[in-house]
Amino acid sequence: MAVHAHPDDESSKGAATMVRYVHEDAEVLVVTLTGGERGSILNPAMDRPEIRENIGEVRRKEMAAAREILGVHQEFAGFVDSGLPEGDPLPPLPEGCFALQPLEVASEPLVRSMRSFRPHVVITYDEQGGYPHPDHIMCHKVSVEAFDAAGDPDRYPGTGDPWQPLKLYYHVSFSMERFERITALLDERGLANPYAEWMERMKERDYPQWEITTRVVCDEYFETRDRALIAHATQIDPNGVWFAVPMDIQREAWPTEDYHLARSLVDTELPEDDLFAGVRESVRT
């Protein structure tokens, strides 16, 4: 189970990993906590009045297309996008949005999904949300809450029979080590580095770097990941930075998607190359 804040997050973080496990006959469910109703249109070709006026509906259709490409199951938890507040001072979040929900209210649909789908592994964001969007930070909180509560029969009554997931991971999508390796290969070929500004911002903000405990080789599925990203046409410019590094460099520099093992109820040896390490042995016994 991959828990995400908005439509398109599932395609920009961990998508190739999910496709790999789908091809290995795992059942994969993406839970999208909000509808992305307050998302900006980031692809200039899609910035039209009829799309701006119906952005929530458009993003649901984009999610359906991406879901088919990835081969995963997907469901919406039903909360409303909080938007990304900007300004100094920051404006208050909109009334009723996801990030302002009480923790138990925000977590209940995810507990219900865990008890219904019965995942062994859950993937989510770290305490910073991967980046400090209020919905991403709330996504972390509800994922941890649901992971801890889903197996407890006394918590969240009426949401199904208890089920305890066995491992909880955080995405480590933007490690400095990865950027530096890509930069080195780009320099060798005399190519510009599209990530230069990102790297500078990360250094300026002293961005926290989680230990990578688990590297999942999935470069075979990078093209599928990119097709799913492009399906989110309001959010992803096909001529933008996501696709600026040649595929062969991406594969040579960093053929994995990376994770930090935050919780494990099974024995496993670090570092790992499989999210199901320890789970397969536990389930067999």
Mean of pLDDT values over 9-27: 98
- Which of 8-22, 111-125, 201-215 is least confident? 201-215
**pLDDT higher than threshold 70 for residue 285:** no
CB neighbourhood size of 273 (10 A): 10
pLDDT of residue 13 exceeding 70: yes
Among 14, 64, 40, 23, CA closest to 234? 40
Residue 8 — left, alpha, or beta (φ > 0 → left; ψ -120 to 50 → alpha)? Answer: left
Q: Is 171 annotated as a binding residue?
A: no
The per-residue pLDDT for 57 is 97
Q: Is 30 helix (H, G, I), strand (E, B) or coil?
A: strand
pLDDT in tens, 222-243: 999 999 999 999 999 999 988 9
Mean pLDDT of the chain: 95
Please report, for residues 2, 216, 258, the alpha-carbon distance to residue 19 in angstroms, rounded to integers and kept in the order given: 12, 11, 15
- Write down all domains in the chain, each with its CATH number in brackets: 2-173+255-277 (3.40.50.10320)
pLDDT digits (tens, 9 = 90+) for 100-151: 999 999 999 999 999 999 999 999 999 988 888 999 999 999 999 999 999 9
pLDDT at 218: 98
What pLDDT score was predicted for residue 204?
79
Stated as kind and residue range, the H or E segment containing 114 is helix 103-117
Q: Could you read off the pLDDT of 153-193 as tens digits, one per residue?
A: 999 999 999 999 999 999 998 889 999 999 999 999 999 99
**283: pLDDT strictly greater than 90:** no
Q: Is 6 annotated as a binding residue?
A: yes
Average pLDDT, stretch 17-40? 97
Q: Is 232 annotated as a binding residue?
A: no
pLDDT 10s digits, 244-265: 999 999 999 999 999 999 999 9
- Please indicate whether residue 128 or residue 73 has the higher confidence score (pLDDT): 73
Cβ contact 37:7 at 8 Å? no
